[in-house]
Amino acid sequence: MPDLLRRRIAATLVLLPAAPLASWAASPIGSAVEDVRRHGARGNGVANDTRAFQAAIDALPPSGGTVQVPPGDYLIDPIVGVQLRSRMHLAMSPGTRLLAKPNAAERAYVLNAHRVSDTIVSGGRIIGERSAHKGTTGEWGHGLMIRASERIAVRDLHISHCWGDGISIGGTKVGAAFVPSRDVTIERVVCAGNRRQGLTIGRSRRVRVFDSEFIDTGGTLPGAGIDVEPDEGDIADDILIARCTVRGNEGAGIQLYKRVSDATVRDCLIERNRGHGILTVGATDCRIENNRIRENVLGGVGVRPGTRTLIVARNEFDDNGPSPRSPDGKRRGGKRHVTIAERTDGIRVDADNRYLD
């Protein structure tokens, strides 16, 4: 094993049990508290509460603080969106629901974290307007957009039925350079029934996804539970997906697609996706370890051209993919648990993987 890969694996093993944000929240959040109701939010599901949310955020002092959202149904216009700021905690109660106002826009976000740092979003639900969307084009109607931001934590949040992604993490171009997002933690989050992806991880460094569910995505391609896919011009590096459930998505359960390096998928349940359980295309220095991968229609792990230095170890595979056909067209024994295409390099499938069927 190359020394660089060995060091990266060791670093990931150390990071997993640690508190995900303990070393990342360098700037403390101030003690000020604002309540969206005091700024005019009605929470009746009819009145447009977008301006009230923004007023509460903008009322925080430079040192930041917490914006509290009591139980209620808050109608949010995604075309305007709620613009989060640095050093703030948007603290929603379990009875909080942010309802996306139907629109025809190709790009619209309920919550938008653009070039901010030390920001927390927790609790409540975001419910998209997929079933009432007024347009037919576009795929970027997201519940939460994170762009070029640092030290972001998203916790205990349920996001469903968005026209695009539940959550999208990525970068933006500033002048001639791309600015990625860095040090993002997603934990105890459910993304269900969204149209494009449950979670997109684009241009980024050090993203951690723990104890979350990405289920029933579909409606437009790629339709993955989690899609790690940075746009051209930058990479996604140092990604850890652990202890997650990825189920029932129309595309791959988890996709590692081009310009992705040092990504680990560990201790996850990945099942009943209509694509592969995990698909890698052009990814480098990645690990698929100790997962239960079962009943995925196209196969368990699909390793496609351009993938280099991949370790598949200690996984349990069960009933993935169709049995292959012999030249005479008849089915022959075996399942597509791990398939490796040509033009790949350094693919290691260890003997400690288990194959139940």
Q: What is the CATH number of the domain that holds 82?
A: 2.160.20.10
Residue 191: per-residue pLDDT: 98
Structure tokens at 312: 């598949």
User: If 0-12 CB within 10 Å is exposed, 13-18 middle and 19+ buried, where does residue 146 land?
Assistant: buried
How many structural domains does the chain have?
Answer: 1
| 3-class SS of residue 271 | strand
**pLDDT for the residue numbered 159:** 98
Q: Residue 231 and residue 82: Cα distance in Å, rounded?
A: 25
- Please give the structure tokens belonging to residue 10: 């060791």
Per-residue pLDDT of the chain in tens (357 residues, 90 and over written 9): 444 434 333 333 333 343 344 345 556 799 999 999 999 999 999 999 999 999 999 999 999 999 999 999 999 999 999 999 999 999 999 999 999 999 999 999 999 999 999 999 999 999 999 999 999 999 999 999 999 999 999 999 999 999 999 999 999 988 888 999 999 999 999 999 999 999 999 999 999 999 999 999 999 999 999 999 999 989 999 999 999 999 999 999 999 999 999 999 999 999 999 999 999 999 999 999 999 999 999 999 999 999 999 999 999 999 999 865 556 666 545 589 999 999 999 999 999 999 998
Token digits for 262?
């040092």
- Phi/psi for 305 (5° steps) reads -50, 145
pLDDT for the residue 23: 43
What b/e readout covers 184-207, taking b as 16+ CB neighbours within 10 angstroms?
Answer: bbbbebbbbbbbbbbbbbbbbbbb
Neighbours of 269 (CB within 10 A): 17
State residue 11's pLDDT score: 38
Q: Collapse the DSSP code of 58 into the 3-class scheme (helix H, G, I; strand E, B; otherwise coil) and give the result.
A: helix
- Nearest 5°: the CA angle 90, 95, 101 is 70
% of the chain beyond a pLDDT of 90: 86
Which residue is listed with tokens 């519940």? 143
CA distances from 116 to 108, 180, 203, 244, 346 (A): 18, 12, 15, 27, 38
- Give pLDDT, residue 175: 87
- Nearest residue to 288 via CA among 231, 225, 227, 239: 239
Backbone dihedral angles phi then psi of residue 254, each to the nearest 5 degrees? -130, 130
| Structural domain containing residue 238 | 3-355
Among candidate residues 182, 188, 189, the one with its CA nearest the CA of residue 152: 182
Q: What is the pLDDT of residue 2?
A: 44
CA–CA distance, 289 with 339 (Å, rounded to integer): 16
- Res 264: pLDDT: 98
Taking the C-alpha atoms of residue 212 and residue 233, their distance in angstroms, rounded to an integer, is 29
Task: Report the alpha-carbon distance of residue 281 to residue 275 in Å, rounded.
Answer: 14
3-state SS assignment for residue 196: coil
pLDDT (0 to 100) of residue 322? 82
- pLDDT given at position 329: 62
Burial of 165 (0-12, 13-18, 19+ CB in 10 A): buried
Identify the DSSP state of 39.
Answer: G
What per-residue confidence (pLDDT) applies to 237?
A: 98
SS3 readout for 88-154: EEEEECCCEEEEECCCCCCEEEEEEEECCEEEEEECCEEECCHHHCCCCCCCEEEEEEEECCEEEEE
Residue 155 and residue 124 in contact, taking contact as beta carbons nearer than 8 Å = no
Question: What spatial distance separates the first Cα and last Cα of the chain, rounded to whole Å?
Answer: 30
Contact 58, 148 (CB under 8 A): no
Q: Please tell me whether residue 37 adopts helix, strand or coil conformation.
A: helix
pLDDT single digits (tens) 48-88 = 999 999 999 999 999 999 999 999 999 999 999 999 999 99
